[in-house]
A and B are shown apart, each in its own frame.
Chain A
Amino acid sequence: MSTDRAYPVPAPGGESTLRIVWIYPDLLSTYGDRGNMLILARRAQLRGIPVETIEVRSDQRLPTTADIYLIGGGEDGPQALGAQRLIADGGLHRAVAQGSVVFAVCAGYQLLGGSFFAKGTKCAGLDLLDLHSDRGSTRAVGELAGDIDPRLGLPPLSGFENHGGRTHLGPGVSPLARVTSGIGNEGITEGAWRGKLLGTYAHGPALARNPALADLLLRWATGVHQLPPLDDTWSERLRAERRAALAARA
């Protein structure tokens, strides 16, 4: 997985196209979640990597051979329904076993764990990440920022969160970040990762504000050590502007 390759980059499985699946946009698409798919596709294409994006509705079978799976946010009802259908489908488990990348935000992040609460009921999750979620006493709404696990080698996380859940991590996962502003999992840590699975409460188009995180997912998916840099002027200005807004508030 750690060899540098020439471009264009072949995706795993011997195919030349990077396949990105957006899981259940009919259920889990609340906060501009489409953005993550668009951003990953664009950043791959700019590196000469051909991309296929696939939107899989909740009444369709999940393909098991894609390179990246995305799960978005949603209300309680659709979240519970989405989890049930993903468990019944079994496709995501097979894809993960084969080494696919999963990036999940908000409700999608919660349902990767062992259990979560929706409409006051404890629901079974996919058990792909060693974590479980319950309800907090307050809703976490606002800017979310944190210093990302140094092993991932990324600049600080910048995002927006809006959730009523609190997430408790088990020993089988690492926090994605240490919270510097906002709540994240429980006010101290934010998100979680293990292998090539990564979840965050930075909802919606989290990758718009975190292009380096988008590139990490692309590196995981392609096995390429270093991707050619892109012009991220506008993302950098956005990050700086958000940082300044947080500093002004502090």
Chain B
Amino acid sequence: MPLRAKVASSVSRTAAALSRAAGRGDGSVIGGWIGLKIDPDLLAHLSAGRAIALISGTNGKTTTTRLTAAAVGVLGPVATNSLGANMPTGHTSALAKAGNTPYAVLEVDEHYLPQVLEATNARVVALLNLSRDQLDRAKEVSMMAQLWRAALVRHPGVRVVANADDPMVVWAATPPANRSEAVQPAPVTWFSAGQRWRDDSWVCPECGSPIERMADQWWCTGCWLRRPEPQWVVEDDGVVDPAGAWHKVVLQLPGRVNLGNAATALAVAAEFGVRPADAVSRLAGVTSVAGRYAQVVRDGRTIRLLLAKNPASWLEAFDMAEVAPTLLSINARDPDGLDTSWLFDVDFSPLRGRQVLITGDRAFDLAVRLEVNDVPFHHVRTFSDAIASVPPGRLEVIANYTAFQDIRAELNRVN
């Protein structure tokens, strides 16, 4: 590593430690920010000599990154940005902090995937899904698929592990070069992680024709795009590997969506030579991820935190939540996106019959939505009021990003 990179790396670690000591943050961003100021190529320098996997997509990337890091851990120490700091500053901090590890598994914000792929020269990239998210700011879904596709064309050597159930992902993972005779990159490894949210993939990104679906299958009515045969599949409470062997997966994390995330993690780890039979037991060690799925007992209530940032992840959260009193909290600050229109893309009817409480900066947007959805609710001003409003027992909390962080702070930054 060049001297400048060494200095930058050291300063970066110190700044992160200072940030944590001062109680200003968890240090997952500030260290990388300072390091990159000193050496703009620091991420590339820190990546050199490591076998790296990048995990990207609209939803599930933090959890899948954690599961993948656990699985790859079979082989040795793994650097990872497990706090969800998923832009280059976060990657730089994570690698600087970890020191010399042979492996790294990095969660990557979907907008930054081309840049991070370039800087890290990753060996594997996992593409989870693409759906609408933060509409006032994010690139629209088809533009994001185009961005990924162009990046993969520039990196024909990277191994791609991708979700066969999401037409936008399949299109992004199948750039023209992959279908020509001239360039023969490694074939894509497909996994099936399901796609509960389908409203962003009714129109073919290749030709604009309608996409048809039947059971698990989907195909474009106008061109070649169709669901590839996945090599990794969720079956019952386990995962089937490409050899056809079924592995029972025991997770501490709720919901079928996390079984899909586990399948993805095993598929990515297999690209590094990890046998699924050796990795499955490690997946059970992942309990909560930066507060997601965390359980806290407070005043006789067992509170579970579920993060739901966009329509697709709300549907997942309803699937994971138990039939119990439920607090919904909505903000629309910068990290959340300022536009609350998406509330009408979510069908809240699964909550009918549960005691529903609402709070957050934009609780009134939610109130209007729930009224139209025939879901009775009560508005509470604070998290304490919410706890006081439900009987002892379970309280499910579903919140979007900053609302989630607010509640997590009330619970002493539970992890």
CA distance A160 to B339 in the complex (A): 7
Which listed residue (B136, B369, B371) contacts A141, Cβ 8 A? Answer: B136
CA distance A42 to B338 in the complex (A): 26
Q: Is the CB of B202 within 8 A of A160?
A: no
Q: Does A59 contact B (CB under 8 A)?
A: yes
Q: Does A53 contact B (CB under 8 A)?
A: no
Q: Is the CB of B367 within 8 A of A205?
A: no
- Kindly specify which of B100-108, B122-130, B341-349 makes contact with the partner chain: B341-349
Cβ-closest chain A residue relative to B202: A26
Contacts of A77 in B (CB 8 A): 142, 203, 208
Contact of A238 with B341 at beta-carbon distance under 8 Å, contacts A35-B372, A162-B136 already known: no
Q: Does B368 contact A (CB under 8 A)?
A: yes
Q: Does B135 contact A (CB under 8 A)?
A: yes
Contacts of B371 in A (CB 8 A): 234
Q: Does A39 contact B (CB under 8 A)?
A: yes
Q: Is the CB of A238 within 8 A of B208?
A: no
Contacts of B132 in A (CB 8 A): 30
Q: Does B199 contact A (CB under 8 A)?
A: yes
Which listed residue (A58, A204, A234) contacts B341, Cβ 8 A? Answer: A204
Cβ-closest chain A residue relative to B221: A59
Q: Is the CB of A75 within 8 A of B345?
A: no
Q: Does A56 contact B (CB under 8 A)?
A: no
Total of A-B residue pairs, C-beta within 8 Å: 80
Q: Tell me how many residues of B have a C-beta within 8 Å of chain A.
A: 28
CB distance from B208 to the nearest CB of A (A): 6
Which listed residue (B136, B364, B372) contacts A160, Cβ 8 A? Answer: B136
Q: Is the CB of B365 within 8 A of A238?
A: yes
Q: Is the CB of A34 within 8 A of B345?
A: yes
Q: Is the CB of B368 within 8 A of A238?
A: yes
Q: Does B39 contact A (CB under 8 A)?
A: no
Contact with A along B325-366 (1 / 0, CB 8 A): 000000000000011111111000000000000000000110
Contacts of B372 in A (CB 8 A): 35, 38-39, 42, 208
Contacts of B135 in A (CB 8 A): 30-31, 162
Q: Does A78 contact B (CB under 8 A)?
A: yes
CA distance A27 to B340 in the complex (A): 21
B-contacting residues, A29-44, CB 8 Å: 29-35, 38-39, 42
Q: Does A5 contact B (CB under 8 A)?
A: no
Contacts of B202 in A (CB 8 A): 26
A-contacting residues, B187-246, CB 8 Å: 199, 202-203, 208, 210
Contacts of B369 in A (CB 8 A): 35, 205, 208
CA distance A27 to B203 in the complex (A): 7
Contact of A32 with B136 at beta-carbon distance under 8 Å, contacts A42-B372, A238-B367 already known: no
